[in-house]
Amino acid sequence: MGVLLFIILAILIVINVPIAIALGVASVAILAIAGNIPLVILPQKMFAALNSFPLMAAPFFILAGKLMEHGGISERLIEFAKSLVGQLKGGLAHVSILACIFFAAISGSASATTAAIGAIMIPAMVKAGYDRNFSSAIQAAAGTTGIIIPPSVPLVLYGVSASVSITSLFVAGILPGIMIGVSLMVVAYIISWKKGYGSGVEKTSFKNIFVSFKRAILALLMPIIILGGIYSGLFTPTEASVVAVVYGLVIGIFVYKKINFKVLQEILVSSVVTTSVIMFIIGTAALFGMVLTREQIPQQVASMFLESELSALWVLILVNLFLLVVGTFMETIAAVIILTPILVPVMTSIGVDPVHFGIIMVANLSIGLVTPPVGVSLFIAAQVGGTKFEPVVKAVIPFLLMMIVDIFLITFIPGLTLVGTGK
């Protein structure tokens, strides 16, 4: 039955059936064939999967991210980033990456980070003489930090699926996310030096840094308030997500005055659509997980790795390669929900901490955002940059190779993720 389950799922995905429907149809088909479970309980199972307090953080972080995207935050973060790194060789490239890191600590979404920063920075870079495809590639690659640096919606979903502390996952994502951002800046510097891209902005001064910091202080305070409140125990990640929404509303409406009734209506509709898709995936994935458990597939996969007598090193390498391949074909959230219950038992059986593996998984899947055929961030960056998809794919390759190096550093140096988690 387990093999038939994956055959049905694969066929549905190949014929382009939406992943949520594919999961549900494959699961119901197997349960109907087995005939030993009343199908009437399936809606109850789906509802039970959604009836989770930690899971409530996902829709609120999605809404908070969209409020920040439309609330005038990105302009101020870019201005502050310019004052810090704009004078370096290839300055605007560094500004783009640093602004993405700042915005990632607010939005929790790679697509929102790419779109919000790219809409401003790609035209500015092109105007300053940077290649349009290079500019778009930088936004696509740097936008992936949006799902690694907390708050991160995929990390929330992983935490719920693996029964792992979301707070620990958020702590674990900080250093790897910053490391990826810095490594992308190194690549951008080398390319800018070879192609002769200038700074793009005037020399900065302490006064300029202070002024831009003052203008961006309310934006920069958000991750401090949200993450500081979580780590100090003042509120849970779910409560923090609500605080983020309230903060975003107040800043966007009353302080920066970028959000009016019409914009707020668009934000709410967009958030509801995004949330409904994610929740539908989670509900049908619960059915899929029930079938996996009944067929003991996670245990069989773990046993297969253990009986193969492969070392933990080789198991980690194979799992990384598997996740890299999956990320190129499957949307990040769907991959997290489907693969977590299968792979976490394998990782724990070889002594890998589930918090550490959560960052490994999300970091690997983030690369799928900048690789075809899915490449969501690539499509967004190409669209925002007014260029074609194919040349952006070529321009992103150096950044992609560096991100793969980062993933292996994250995988084989657990301290990069577990520092500060108490493990």
Higher pLDDT, 364 or 422: 364
Q: Which pLDDT score, from 0 to 100, does residue 294 have?
A: 81
Most confident among 106-120, 155-169, 275-289, 322-336 (mean pLDDT) = 155-169
Position 281 pLDDT exceeds 90: no
Higher pLDDT, 214 or 38: 214
Position 13 pLDDT exceeds 60: yes
Question: What percent of the chain has a predicted confidence (pLDDT) above 90?
Answer: 35
For 190, the token pair is: 């080398």
Position 203 pLDDT exceeds 90: no
Q: Which pLDDT score, from 0 to 100, does residue 423 have?
A: 67
Position 389 pLDDT exceeds 80: yes
Of the listed ranges 142-146, 199-203, 401-405, the least confidently predicted one is: 199-203
Position 189 pLDDT exceeds 90: yes
Q: Which pLDDT score, from 0 to 100, does residue 217 have?
A: 92
Q: Which pLDDT score, from 0 to 100, does residue 199 have?
A: 55
Position 96 pLDDT exceeds 70: yes
Of the listed ranges 98-102, 250-254, 309-313, the least confidently predicted one is: 309-313
- What's the whole-number average pLDDT of the chain? 87
The string of pLDDT tens digits covering residues 18-66 is: 888 888 898 899 888 887 778 788 888 888 888 888 888 888 888 888 8
Position 133 pLDDT exceeds 90: yes
Q: Which pLDDT score, from 0 to 100, does residue 413 have?
A: 93
The string of pLDDT tens digits covering residues 235-274 is: 888 898 899 899 989 999 999 888 999 999 999 998 898 8
Position 135 pLDDT exceeds 80: yes
Position 73 pLDDT exceeds 60: yes
- The mean pLDDT of 190-204, rounded to a whole number, is 76
Q: Which pLDDT score, from 0 to 100, does residue 330 have?
A: 78
Position 355 pLDDT exceeds 90: yes
Question: What percent of the chain has a predicted confidence (pLDDT) above 70?
Answer: 98
